């Protein structure tokens, strides 16, 4: 079945690449925005996708360049906004991550406003935008009505969560004021096969866990206030994969294919509206390594983590499930991820 034309921003990324794969398989024509369309090595995985040569076009666009998305978006029925600032060593968080995330989102939406053919925008947010708050009730799952506290994010310097929260809020304000049909998807920690040749930070974190490289950091996970985790997230983003995974604590996990399919579902479904949490399981580190070490006994996966005092929470996915969505299991997502890591030469299983 052939669909219309849609635009995907940040097309070469981990999640965007998989979404494009799914869109092409569904018959869509896709215009993907990238920073350098001539970078053959970085974009080869996109051109190798089934249907790419017939229905994929890659164009140059910069988040911070006003109007640079105009040509890519004009004439498209839908826009999937996935582009976000690249995280690295942060010296000026407001200039390097917060302003680019917010202004980049508004830049894309201003281009959407100029497009009379536009039906709907699907914006990729994060489940972190609902769970950084100081009044979590362990008996009530977090849902789409929850918002992370900007004040807490600023006070504890949780720049990634702050950027995601402010960008989504700015998107809602702009779209409500300008009559744009917006739906947002909030994935938890995304797990699964990687199409790009370079591993993203989440895949690198998983690789470090599977290799047992993160064990050296276990001593840091002594009990502490819940917000200590979020404070250190900003520190460990500057360090290697050997250290990051231990700071994840209790997390929601979701298969990359489910995230892509969820985006397509809320784009196509006439009744989709508002925000949608996208997460399969919420588990703590001990539960996760128990599952993985039993499934892959020859890998040097840590057997346990030190206990730490953080609020218990669950994520409610009743809203996306009401549209008929079903999530893959945590075993399936890690099986597919590990198969991909082995195939790409990042991991070997004794």
Asked if residue 350 is part of any domain, the answer here is no
User: What integer pLDDT is reported at residue 3 of this predicted model?
Assistant: 81
Number of domains present in the structure of the chain: 1
Asked if residue 36 is part of any domain, the answer here is yes
For residue 264, the enclosing domain spans 5-342
Asked if residue 259 is part of any domain, the answer here is yes
User: What integer pLDDT is reported at residue 220 of this predicted model?
Assistant: 32
User: What integer pLDDT is reported at residue 306 of this predicted model?
Assistant: 61
Q: Which two tokens stand for residue 143?
A: 């849902």
Asked if residue 21 is part of any domain, the answer here is yes
The strand ranges marked E within the chain are: 5-8, 29-34, 56-60, 78-81, 120-124, 182-187, 189-191, 251-255, 274-278, 281-283
User: What integer pLDDT is reported at residue 29 of this predicted model?
Assistant: 98
Q: In this structure, what CATH number is given to the domain that contains residue 305?
A: 3.40.50.720
Interval 161-178: pLDDT, tens:
999 999 999 999 999 999
pLDDT in tens, the chain (350 residues): 458 999 999 999 999 999 999 999 999 999 999 999 999 999 999 999 999 999 999 999 999 899 999 999 999 999 999 998 766 667 888 888 999 999 999 999 999 999 999 999 999 999 999 998 888 888 999 999 999 999 999 988 888 899 999 999 999 999 999 999 999 999 999 999 999 988 888 888 889 889 886 543 343 333 233 333 333 333 333 333 334 444 456 889 999 999 999 999 999 999 999 999 999 999 988 889 899 999 999 999 887 766 656 678 999 999 999 999 999 999 999 999 999 999 999 999 98
User: What integer pLDDT is reported at residue 346 of this predicted model?
Assistant: 93
Asked if residue 329 is part of any domain, the answer here is yes
Asked if residue 347 is part of any domain, the answer here is no
How many H-runs (helices) and E-runs (strands) does the chain carry?
16, 10
pTM of the predicted model over 0.85? yes
User: What integer pLDDT is reported at residue 226 of this predicted model?
Assistant: 33
Asked if residue 328 is part of any domain, the answer here is yes
Find the distance separating the first CA and the last CA of the chain, reported in whole Å.
43
For residue 312, with 0-12 CB atoms within 10 Å meaning exposed, 13-18 middle and 19 or more buried, which class applies?
exposed
Report the C-alpha gap between 128 and 126 in whole angstroms: 5
Instruction: Kindly report each contact of residues 285-294 with a partner whose C-beta sits within 8 Å and lies 24 or more positions away, as own/partner.
Output: 285/245, 285/246, 285/248, 285/249, 285/250, 288/253, 288/330, 289/209, 291/330, 291/331, 291/334, 292/209, 292/210, 292/334
Asked if residue 27 is part of any domain, the answer here is yes
């Amino acid at each position: 079945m052939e669909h219309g034309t849609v635009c995907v921003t940040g097309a070469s990324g981990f999640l965007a690449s998989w979404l494009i794969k799914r869109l092409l398989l569904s018959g869509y024509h896709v215009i993907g925005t990238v920073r350098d369309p001539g970078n053959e090595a970085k974009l080869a995985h996109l051109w190798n996708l089934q249907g790419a040569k017939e229905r994929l076009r890659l164009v140059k666009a910069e988040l911070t360049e006003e109007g640079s998305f105009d040509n890519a978006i004009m004439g498209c029925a839908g826009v999937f906004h996935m582009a976000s600032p690249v995280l690295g060593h942060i010296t000026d968080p407001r200039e390097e991550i917060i302003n680019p995330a917010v202004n980049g989102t508004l830049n894309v939406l201003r281009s959407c406003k100029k497009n009379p053919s536009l039906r709907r925008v699907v914006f990729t947010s994060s489940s972190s935008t609902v769970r950084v708050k100081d009044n979590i009730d362990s008996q009530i799952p977090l849902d789409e009505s929850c918002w992370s506290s900007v004040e807490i994010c600023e006070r504890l310097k949780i720049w990634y969560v702050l950027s995601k929260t402010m960008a989504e809020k700015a998107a809602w304000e702009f779209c409500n004021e300008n009559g744009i049909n917006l739906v947002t998807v909030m994935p938890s920690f995304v797990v699964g096969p990687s199409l790009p040749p370079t591993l993203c930070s989440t895949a690198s974190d998983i690789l470090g866990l599977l290799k047992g490289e993160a064990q050296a950091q276990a001593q840091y996970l002594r009990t502490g206030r819940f917000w200590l985790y979020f404070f250190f997230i900003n520190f460990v983003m500057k360090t290697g994969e050997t250290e990051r995974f231990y700071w994840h604590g209790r997390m929601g996990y979701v298969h990359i294919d489910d995230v892509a399919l969820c985006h397509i579902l809320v784009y196509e479904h006439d009744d989709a509206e508002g925000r949608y949490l996208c997460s399969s399981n919420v588990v703590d580190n001990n539960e996760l390594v128990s599952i993985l070490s039993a499934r892959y006994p020859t890998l040097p996966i840590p057997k346990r983590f030190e206990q730490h005092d953080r609020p218990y929470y669950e994520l409610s996915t009743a809203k996306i499930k009401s549209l008929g969505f079903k999530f893959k299991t945590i075993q399936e997502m890690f099986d597919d991820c590990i198969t991909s890591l082995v195939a790409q030469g990042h991991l070997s299983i004794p």
